[in-house]
């Protein structure tokens, strides 16, 4: 048997046979050339349409069936092709072939998603994000189906339909869309203390990522690695984006949902089109079988993490996403991920949440894609040979040759035959299992709060501030007071101060009992304090340059150049599309207008000087709002020359007393505002601006601390 030779292009090549060019002449689906697709065939000029119009019938009936059921969760998503490459052989831990040879690039297809919203909902809602990767390996397809949050709401999969019913729009009026902020969800959560750890993550900034390129991915469950000698170890999977992990702020996320509901989809699509390929490092936490019980939680409980301080994450390889799909429906919509798709060397654990998923995904694909033959859809096909005796069914796409479709057979030469383990046959790990059949939760799953407290303790001050405000928003939309009160009691079991802060904003009593906080932290849980964040750069960031005719050309070009060489993308925003002219007569193209762009679509803003340009911009109300939002959302902003006056017009500048702090004509402070009135050292301004953008957000700017009542 010859070994398949898998390389980065293997999946691309397998898709090629299915690609369709638009073609020169229109035909029916039978290949008959069409001579008129604008008028149906009818009897006489004004008469009824004739049933014999096969073109109308075909066109219409096909159209009537264009939609398939959307995913019951994770309906809205974006996909991309790429490859995965292991850094060095992991033979010591696993026999999975794609984890052996650092010279092999295994093709992958990744899909990122929100969970709750419908297919047409906005990208930037507060929600968990799905992080799925299909690896087309020489051993068959391996699917990683994870989230950007390392824990989950529930411990046993049998609660999943209840959870999803509670969070989705309410059944009587189908409101609200893509939001957890409603009575049903919080009613359910207030009765499910096991969800408190996950709730802390969902209320944190993790639930509003800046970009799919800037969020982590977690396998959530404990899985198993099995090596060639049959030795098994437990493993947890982590993806880390090389651009770092960053979030939006809530006000910004809500505004983006209106200005550009496709914000995340567009961001990753455009990055790939520009050759700015998203990269993620895969890491593993490995736990020896004999250490299974050494933690003060159960490693089979998906509401728990294994803190990185206890078991470090070892980087094992890198994924690069470098090609957008040709067709959204054929690829991103029809791709079918399943946690049960494992390859030799990777196995499951007995996590009861994972065990339920092993059934659900296969079932849902058959329903969603309409047939058990969904595995033959181009995007789902393995790149290694697939042979078995599964036959027929709706939309069978293969023409199976031969006389036998059963096993064992002698008439077909015994084929397709079995592969012993030594030849790659998948053998489930021989774990010894015995016990009574019981419908019970293990006692080892009963601590619901310690890790929620660990998460709270590990956040930076601004992160805590955001979490409390998120709780005020979410629970502020809950009408039933008893539900709000029950939530405060649950928060109290996480941390007393947190419970008091939450209670303040939602009109219920602070808890009477004072709970003890264990005081432990895990810095890796914070996006800000994480010691393992990659170096901060401006790579992949978007910056708006606000200008009109008469702008200072040399200032604009200098800043634009500095941004470009740091890997960021600058866009000129002005009143109208077309060209604008600098004071010395140079033309620059306008990329967006004040109608088609807004501050929330950018990471930072620069305003060059130029008397005429600034006078024009001062008359545009949208410009002041642009600047104000940039300041309000803690983003870097630079203004040079006359633009400093414009900057000072924003109410936020006044609130920050910027005028005072820049009396010497040049302000650079740790609050990310660079205002240089004389602008004679524009290179210096550029440098400081780049540094300020790389900081992502400047939380020191205006923290409205919420203090608990004394």
Among the candidate windows 90-98, 250-258, 357-365, 513-521, which touches ligand HDE by CB under 6 A? 357-365
Among the candidate windows 4-12, 36-44, 73-81, 290-298, which touches ligand HDE by CB under 6 A? 73-81
**What's the first-to-final CA gap in the chain, in angstroms?**
76
Task: State in angstroms the smallest separation of the CB of 361 from ligand HDE.
Answer: 4
Q: Is 145 in the site for ligand HDE (CB under 6 A)?
A: yes
* Site track 272-291 with ligand HDE (rule: CB under 6 A), x = hit: --------------------
Q: Is 357 in the site for ligand HDE (CB under 6 A)?
A: yes
Give the up-direction half-sphere exposure of residue 373: CA atoms within 13 A in the CB hemisphere. 13
Which one of 6, 11, 55, 71 is in contact with ligand HDE (CB under 6 A)? 71
**Which distant-in-sequence residues (6+ apart) come within 8 Å of 270 by Cβ?**
none
Cα–Cα nearest to 622, from 590, 574, 572, 579 = 574
Q: Which is nearer to ligand HDE, 198 or 690 (CB)?
A: 198
**Which distant-in-sequence residues (6+ apart) come within 8 Å of 588 by Cβ?**
547, 551, 553, 556, 572, 579, 580, 581, 582
Question: Is residue 357 part of an annotated ligand binding site?
Answer: yes
Q: Is 356 in the site for ligand HDE (CB under 6 A)?
A: yes
Task: State in angstroms the smallest separation of the CB of 5 from ligand HDE.
Answer: 28
Count of Cβ atoms closer than 10 Å to residue 684 Cβ: 14
Among the candidate windows 358-366, 372-380, 544-552, 682-690, which touches ligand HDE by CB under 6 A? 358-366
170 φ/ψ angles, rounded to the nearest 5 degrees? -65, 145
Q: Is 113 in the site for ligand HDE (CB under 6 A)?
A: yes
Q: Which tokens sit at 129?
A: 């994000």
CB 239 within 8 A of CB 218: yes
CB 673 within 8 A of CB 658: yes
Question: Is residue 71 part of an annotated ligand binding site?
Answer: yes
Q: Which is nearer to ligand HDE, 342 or 692 (CB)?
A: 342
**Which distant-in-sequence residues (6+ apart) come within 8 Å of 132 by Cβ?**
110, 111, 112, 113, 143, 144, 145, 146, 337
Q: Site residues for ligand HDE, window 154-173 (CB under 6 A)?
A: 157, 160
Q: Site residues for ligand HDE, window 75-94 (CB under 6 A)?
A: 77
Question: Is residue 57 part of an annotated ligand binding site?
Answer: no
Among the candidate windows 58-66, 243-251, 360-368, 395-403, which touches ligand HDE by CB under 6 A? 360-368
Compute the chain's Rg from CA coordinates: 29
Q: Site residues for ligand HDE, window 290-309 (CB under 6 A)?
A: 302
Q: Is 360 in the site for ligand HDE (CB under 6 A)?
A: yes
Q: CA 655, CA 702: separation in Å to the nearest integer?
A: 9
Q: Which is nearer to ligand HDE, 452 or 546 (CB)?
A: 452
Q: Which residue has the tokens 């064992």?
A: 408
Q: Which of 74, 633, 696, 698 is catalytic?
A: 74
Q: CA 604, CA 252: separation in Å to the nearest integer?
A: 13
Q: Which is nearer to ligand HDE, 189 or 501 (CB)?
A: 189
Which one of 83, 98, 152, 225 is in contact with ligand HDE (CB under 6 A)? 152
Question: Is residue 160 part of an annotated ligand binding site?
Answer: yes
Q: Is the peptide bond before 253 cis (omega within 30 degrees of 0)?
A: no
Which one of 107, 130, 140, 193 is in contact with ligand HDE (CB under 6 A)? 130
Q: Site residues for ligand HDE, window 631-660 (CB under 6 A)?
A: none
Q: Which of 55, 141, 147, 530 is catalytic?
A: 147
DSSP 8-class letter at 345: T
Beta strands 314-323 and 223-226 are unpaired
Task: State in angstroms the smallest separation of the CB of 283 from ligand HDE.
Answer: 16
Task: State in angstroms the smallest separation of the CB of 76 from ligand HDE.
Answer: 10
74 is catalytic: yes
147 is catalytic: yes
640 φ/ψ angles, rounded to the nearest 5 degrees? -125, 150
Q: CA 366, CA 364: separation in Å to the nearest integer?
A: 5
Q: Is 111 in the site for ligand HDE (CB under 6 A)?
A: yes
CB 210 within 8 A of CB 465: no
**Which distant-in-sequence residues (6+ apart) come within 8 Å of 482 by Cβ?**
none
Question: Is residue 314 part of an annotated ligand binding site?
Answer: no
Q: Which tokens sit at 266?
A: 């567009």
Helix axes 481-494, 196-203, angle to 10 degrees: 100
Question: Is residue 129 part of an annotated ligand binding site?
Answer: no
Which one of 280, 337, 374, 606 is in contact with ligand HDE (CB under 6 A)? 337
Q: Which is nearer to ligand HDE, 87 or 297 (CB)?
A: 297
SS (H, E, C) 557-587: HHHHHHHHHCCCEEEEEECCCEEEEECCCCE
Which one of 10, 132, 303, 574 is in contact with ligand HDE (CB under 6 A)? 132
Q: Is 220 in the site for ligand HDE (CB under 6 A)?
A: yes
Count of Cβ atoms closer than 10 Å to residue 466 Cβ: 20
Task: State in angstroms the smallest separation of the CB of 595 from ligand HDE.
Answer: 34
Q: Which is nearer to ligand HDE, 144 or 606 (CB)?
A: 144
Question: How many residues touch ligand HDE (CB under 6 A)?
Answer: 25
Q: Is 72 in the site for ligand HDE (CB under 6 A)?
A: yes
Task: State in angstroms the smallest separation of the CB of 199 from ligand HDE.
Answer: 15
Q: Which is nearer to ligand HDE, 375 or 642 (CB)?
A: 375
Beta strands 666-668 and 604-607 are unpaired
CB 218 within 8 A of CB 245: no
Annotated binding site: 71, 111, 160, 357, 361, 368
Chain residues binding ligand HDE by CB under 6 A are 71-74, 77, 111, 113, 130, 132, 145-147, 152, 157, 160, 220, 302, 337, 353, 356-357, 360-361, 364-365
Annotated binding site for heme: 71, 111, 160, 357, 361, 368
Catalytic residues: 74, 147
């Amino acid at each position: 048997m010859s070994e398949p030779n898998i390389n980065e292009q293997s999946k691309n090549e397998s898709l090629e046979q299915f690609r369709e060019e638009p073609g020169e002449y229109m035909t029916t689906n039978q290949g008959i050339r069409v001579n008129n697709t604008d008028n149906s065939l009818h009897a006489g000029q004004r008469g009824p349409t004739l049933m014999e119009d096969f073109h109308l019938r075909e066109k219409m009936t096909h159209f009537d069936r264009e939609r398939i059921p959307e995913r019951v969760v994770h309906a809205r998503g974006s996909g991309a092709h790429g490859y995965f490459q292991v850094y060095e052989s992991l033979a010591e831990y696993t026999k999975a072939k794609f984890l052996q040879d650092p010279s092999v690039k295994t093709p992958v297809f990744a899909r990122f998603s929100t969970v709750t919203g419908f297919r047409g909902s906005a990208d930037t809602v507060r929600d968990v994000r799905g992080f799925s990767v299909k690896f087309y390996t020489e051993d068959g397809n391996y699917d990683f189906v994870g989230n950007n949050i390392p824990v989950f709401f529930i411990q046993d999969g049998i609660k999943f339909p209840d959870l999803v019913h509670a969070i989705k729009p309410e059944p009587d009026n189908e409101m609200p869309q893509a939001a957890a902020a409603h009575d049903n969800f919080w009613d359910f959560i207030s009765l499910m203390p096991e969800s408190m750890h996950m709730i802390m993550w969902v209320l944190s900034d993790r639930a509003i990522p800046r970009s799919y390129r800037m969020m982590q991915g977690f396998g959530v469950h404990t899985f198993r690695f099995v090596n060639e000698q049959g030795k098994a170890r437990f493993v947890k999977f982590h993806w880390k984006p090389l651009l770092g992990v960053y979030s939006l702020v809530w006000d910004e996320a809500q505004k983006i949902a209106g200005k550009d509901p496709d914000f995340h989809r567009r961001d990753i699509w455009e990055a790939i089109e520009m050759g700015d390929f998203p990269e993620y490092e895969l890491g593993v936490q490995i736990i020896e079988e004999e250490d299974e019980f050494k933690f003060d939680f159960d490693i089979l409980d998906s509401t728990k993490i294994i803190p990185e301080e206890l078991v470090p994450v070892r980087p094992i390889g890198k994924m690069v996403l470098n090609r957008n799909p040709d067709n959204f429906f054929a690829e991103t919509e029809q791709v079918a991920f399943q946690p049960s798709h494992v390859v030799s060397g990777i196995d499951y654990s007995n996590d009861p949440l994972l065990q339920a998923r092993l059934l659900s995904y296969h079932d849902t694909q058959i329903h969603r894609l309409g047939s058990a033959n969904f595995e033959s859809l181009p995007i789902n096909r393995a790149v290694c040979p697939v042979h078995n005796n599964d036959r027929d069914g709706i939309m069978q796409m293969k023409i199976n040759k031969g006389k036998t479709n059963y096993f064992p057979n002698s008439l077909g030469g015994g084929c397709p035959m079995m592969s012993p383990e030594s030849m790659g046959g998948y053998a489930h790990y021989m774990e010894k299992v015995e016990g009574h059949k019981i419908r019970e939760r293990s006692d080892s799953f009963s601590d619901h709060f310690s890790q929620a407290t660990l998460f709270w303790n590990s956040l930076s001050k601004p992160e805590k501030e955001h979490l409390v405000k998120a709780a005020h928003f979410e629970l502020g939309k809950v009408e039933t007071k008893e539900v709000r009160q029950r939530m405060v009691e649950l928060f109290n079991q996480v941390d007393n101060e947190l419970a008091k802060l939450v209670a303040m904003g939602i009109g219920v009593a602070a808890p009477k009992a004072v709970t003890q906080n264990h005081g432990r932290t895990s810095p890796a849980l914070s996006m800000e304090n994480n010691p393992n964040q990659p170096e901060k750069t401006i790579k992949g960031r978007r910056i708006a340059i606000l200008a009109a005719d008469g702008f200072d050309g040399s200032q604009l070009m200098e800043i634009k150049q500095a941004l470009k060489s740091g890997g960021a993308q600058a866009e000129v925003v002005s009143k109208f599309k077309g060209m604008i002219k600098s004071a010395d007569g140079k033309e620059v193209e306008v990329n967006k207008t004040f109608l088609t762009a807004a501050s929330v679509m950018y990471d930072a803003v620069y305003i060059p000087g130029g008397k005429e340009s600034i006078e024009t911009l001062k008359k545009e109300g949208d410009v002041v709002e642009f600047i104000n939002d940039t300041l309000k959302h803690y983003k870097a902003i630079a203004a040079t020359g006359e633009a400093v006056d414009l900057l000072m017009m924003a109410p936020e500048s006044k609130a920050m007393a910027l005028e005072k702090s820049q009396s010497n004509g040049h302000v650079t402070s740790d609050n990310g505002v660079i205002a240089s009135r004389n602008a004679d050292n524009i290179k210096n301004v550029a440098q400081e601006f780049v540094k300020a953008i790389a900081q992502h957000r400047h939380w020191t700017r205006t923290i409205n601390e919420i203090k608990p009542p004394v």
